Each structure stands twice: as structure tokens, then as C-alpha cells.
């Protein structure tokens, strides 16, 4: 399905970071150095620090900190 959608939108699919690409789909953390090398038109499905919101224990910890800071 991803292939069909990318073809319809004229997106470039690649398995190599060095090649030109439009969307970088990753199942894990992204290094800030990688984000710095991205072009303005390139997008990824994650952002730095996303693990702090995606993991239940870290999300709960961050919500408690916000609740304490902003009662």
C-alpha cells in the first residue's frame, strides 16, 4: 500500500539514507545529526524525544511533572 500511495504522490522510495528521498520512515529514535542533514522538503515519521511520549512510563512521568508545574 505504501508503494501505491508513494507512486500516486510522486514520492521517491529508497532504502539508502544517502539517496534523495521525500519521507524517511523509521521504527526507532532519530539522531539529531540526521535531522540536521535533512533538506527542507524531507519529512520523517518521528521527531527527537518522541520516546518520552510514546512509552507509557515516561509519558506518565512527564504528565506528572507538568501537573506539578502547572496545577
What letters, b where the CB count within 10 A reaches 16 and e where it falls short, cover 37-61?
Answer: eeeeeeeeebeeeeeeeeeeeeeee
Q: Which three cell numbers stand for residue 17?
A: 539514507
Sorted by sequence, the CB contacts under 8 Å of residue 22 that are 6+ apart come out as 6, 11, 12, 41, 42, 43
Q: What is the pTM of this model?
A: 0.55
Percent of the chain with pLDDT over 70: 100
Lowest mean pLDDT among 11-20, 28-37, 38-47: 11-20
Of the pLDDT bands very low, low, confident and very high (cuts 50, 70, 90), residue 62 is confident
Q: What is the phi/psi pair of residue 14, to 5°? A: -155, 150
Amino acid at each position: 500500500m505504501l508503494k501505491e500511495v508513494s507512486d500516486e504522490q510522486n514520492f521517491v522510495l529508497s532504502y539508502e539514507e544517502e539517496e534523495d528521498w521525500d519521507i524517511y520512515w523509521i521504527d526507532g529514535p532519530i539522531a539529531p545529526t540526521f535531522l540536521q542533514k535533512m533538506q527542507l522538503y524531507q519529512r520523517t515519521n518521528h521527531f527527537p524525544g518522541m520516546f518520552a511520549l510514546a512509552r507509557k512510563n515516561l509519558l506518565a512521568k512527564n504528565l506528572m511533572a507538568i501537573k506539578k508545574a502547572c496545577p
